[in-house]
Structures are given as C-alpha cells and as structure tokens.
Amino acid sequence: MKKALIILGVVLMLFSISGCKKDSGGSGTLVIWSFTDELANMANNYYKQSHPDQKYEYSQTPSDQFQAKLDPVLATGQGVPDIIALEAAFVRKYVESGLLLDITDIYEANKDKLLAYPVEVGTYNGKVYGMSWQAAPGALFYRRSLAKKYLGTDDPAVVQTYFNSFNKFLETAKLLKDKSNGSCVVVSSLGDLQNSFLSARTQSWIVNGKVVIDPAMEQYLDICKTLHDNRWEGRVGQWSEGWFAGMNGNLKDESGTPVEVFSYFLPTWGLHYVLKTNAPDTSGDWAMIAGPSSYRWGGTWVGAYKGTKNVAAAKEFIRYVTTDDAFLEAWAKAEGDLVSNTNVINKIKDNYSEPFLGGQNHYAEFAEMAKNVNGRLLQGSDEAIEALFGEAMASFVNGEKTKAQALADFRAQAESQFGY
C-alpha cells in the first residue's frame, strides 16, 4: 500500500525475474500480478536466494488500473496469474469472489505467530483466501510544539487523555481553538477522521441483506458537522495542497490568515511516506498516540488463483512472504514495515527510536495498536458504499441536506445500487 501510493500513475511494467521467458503459468513459472513493486523486491532480493530454481514472471500495473486488468481474465479463466496482490480497498471483493485458492492450511500452520486482523481481512466463510506480510494500524500524529503551547505538555501518555474518545476529541478541538484565539485547528481535513470511525463500528454495512448505518457513522456525521460549523478543522481536502501545507505549518485560510494544524490521522506508512516526505523541516516536532479509536488504513494482501496449475509453488511463495520468520525480520529491518508476524515483532520492537518523532519508539507503539484492530467487518461492497456515504457526509456538513435526509438518500442509493 505505502509504495502503491508513491508509484500510482506508473505505466504498465513487465519484466522477468530470474531471466525467464514469458509463460502463462502451469510450467513451473509463477506468474505474479501486482500494483506495487514490493512483491518484485521480495522475489528478486529474498525469495530466489532460498528458492533458486523457481522462475517468475512479474507484471506491475498502477493501482487505479489493476482491477480493470484483472477482472476480464478472471471472468474468462484465460491468462490468469498464479499470484495476485490485493490492495486494502478491493481485497474483500476478491476474497469473496470464489475465484481464489484456499490457503487456510498456510494460516493453520502459522496461526500462533500471526496478528489477527490481517488474517481476518482475508477470511471468508471460515476459510482463508488472502494473507499479508504487514499490518497498517493507524495513529494520531500531533505536533509536539503545539501540544506544549496549548495543552501544557507533549508527553504522549498525557496527550492521549485529551483524545481517548470521540467526545474528548471534540472537547479538545474546542480547547485548541479557544486557547489559540482561533488559529489552531485539531485537523486540517475532515477526511482524516473517516477510517477511525469506520473501525469504531460494531456492524458491517450489510447485515442479513439489509443496509445498516452503525451508530458510529452517525456520530461521524455529527462530529464532522460540529468541527466544520465551528471552524475547528482546516476545511481542506485530504491529499490536497492545503493538507500537505498544514504539516509544515504553512496552511492559510481563505483570507490568508495562518492556520496551525495540531494533528493528522495516518497509518504506519503515513509516517515514512507522508510526514517525513512532505514535512522534513518539522522533524523531531511530532509524536504519535492511539487516538480515539483503533483503526487500520491500507495494506497489501497476497492470494492465488484457484485454477492455478502451480498450486504448490504458489502456496510456498505466499507462505514465505507472509509468515517466514527470517525473511520478515530482514524485510522489516530493511523496509520499516510493521510485519504481521508476532515472533519478528517481539524480537525487534524494542530497538527503535524514531528521530522524526522526537525519539519515540514508533514500532512498539504500532505493534500495540495493531492488536486492537478489528478486521472482521470488511465486505466486498465497502469501497462503493463508503463512497456513497462520503457524499452523504459532504451534503450534510455543507448544509445542503439535513442529517435525516442525507442518511435516507444514502440508504436509498445503496439499496438501489446493490439490490438490497
């Protein structure tokens, strides 16, 4: 996921690992399709060292084009790859499709050392169809200097008490605005909050064939409306120029007045590929806490086509990249990933001190956060349903609809689109 964001827009790339010629699978050559270069790195620099006789053909397609390439071959059964990388946004679509190989045996042989939520995401009707080498729990990253200025401390343990529930989050948003005479907002964008609320749900979107609006999502609307109406948020879009400007302390409102942004909701990869990349001058002035709710954001899963003629080789590749202790330790140290293997986590987690976070041990913190993430609520229709809910949220927050009307319209759209 993290590198998929960086390489989004890269043209289709085909290359051979181990120098093999193009092959459609079934001859011992594993055909791997992905939207990220991570699996290529794993195969090239790790897997082939211990599996020198295994040949590969690797095809990389930008994330926004990946499903359009994969779906037609799955529909016909012709030219389907053996190994398929699956992004968090669409992993459940394929896990529920009936087109992936059952890899429950890999999980069963390794379950005592695996974090729960990545396996939960890849599980459907009691069987495992996708596994991940990584976990991507989310945190709340905040500016230490602003915490000292307005809360009197930058100690993560103390700051967490200001954000340990959504109600406290709202209270703290008001406190920051009041103490700063209007210059400090709790977040720059309402979009930052969505994943936290999605993970706070106790029910999936679809239950027994009916659209369900969990109370957490209604609270999401209420809090977004309150933040917006009181100008306790920066009123910029997530991933926009203003969103990034806030990380460096350069955000200004529509009148040109400087706006201080206290915090950002970001996952594991957000530290290395968002904050460090876009706010290098603020290094050392950040810290991280769990925030009001455990949540996840992103990640890559690996599955295999159920019709592959290379079952043993496909399973061995998946076993290696998602569970192997020696590989995942080397990978974690080289790439910084929070791996899903608890043996590795426990071995290395105490040896980190992140300068960007003022010396905080981010790895150990993320490892604790990952334990509380629930991966059981995901469904294949989530991506489309959440897009509709985002539209409902915007119409309510912007005053175009009442809350009741926005929710009623969302329900009607979802029921119509999915036939519920």
Neighbours of 174 (CB within 10 A): 14
pLDDT at 292 over 50: yes
**Average pLDDT of the chain, as a whole number:** 93
Between CA 127 and CA 271 the distance in angstroms is: 33
**C-alpha angle 383/385/386, rounded to 5°?**
65
Angstrom distance (rounded) from CA 412 to CA 420: 10
What does the DSSP 8-state code read for residue 164? S
Q: How far apart are CA 210 and CA 42, in angstroms?
A: 42
DSSP 133: S
CB 405 within 8 A of CB 398: no
The single-letter code of the amino acid at 208 is N
Per-residue pLDDT, 28:
86
Q: What is the DSSP letter of 123?
A: E
Specify the DSSP element, H or E, that contains 287.
Answer: strand 286-289
| Paired residues of 140 in beta bridges | 265, 289
Which residues fall within 8 angstroms of residue 181, CB to CB, at 6 or more apart?
Answer: none
* pLDDT surpassing 90 at residue 17: no
Question: Is-contact 303 71, C-beta < 8 A?
Answer: no
Contact 110, 323 (CB under 8 A): yes
- 3-state SS class at 263: strand
**What is the pLDDT, as a whole number, of residue 202?**
95
| pLDDT tens, residue by residue, 322-368 | 999 999 999 999 999 999 999 999 999 999 999 999 999 999 999 99
pLDDT of residue 2: 39
Supply 209's token pair.
């064939």
Query: What stretches of 123-254 adopt beta strand conformation (E)?
Result: 123-124, 127-128, 138-143, 184-185, 206-207, 210-211
- What's the burial of 282, exposed, middle or buried (CB within 10 Å: 0-12/13-18/19+)? middle
> Residue 9: which pLDDT band, with cuts at 50, 70 and 90?
very low
Cα–Cα distance between 241 and 301 in angstroms, integer? 30
Domains of the chain: 2-136+297-371 (3.40.190.10), 139-296+377-418 (3.40.190.10)
Closest by CA to 37, choosing from 71, 72, 13, is 13
CA 224 to the chain's CA centroid: 21
CB atoms within 10 A of CB 213: 17
pLDDT digits (tens, 9 = 90+) for 188-203: 999 999 999 999 999 9
Give whole-number Cα distances, 348 to 113, 329, 353, in Å. Answer: 14, 8, 12
Helices 215-229 and 382-397 sit at what angle, rounded to 10 degrees?
40
Parallel/antiparallel/unpaired status of strands 260-261 and 13-17: unpaired
How far is CA 296 from its chain centroid? Answer: 5
| Percent with pLDDT over 70 in the chain | 94
Give the pLDDT confidence of 153-186 residue by residue, as tens digits.
999 999 999 999 999 999 999 999 999 999 999 9
Interatomic CA distance for residues 70 and 370, integer angstroms: 30
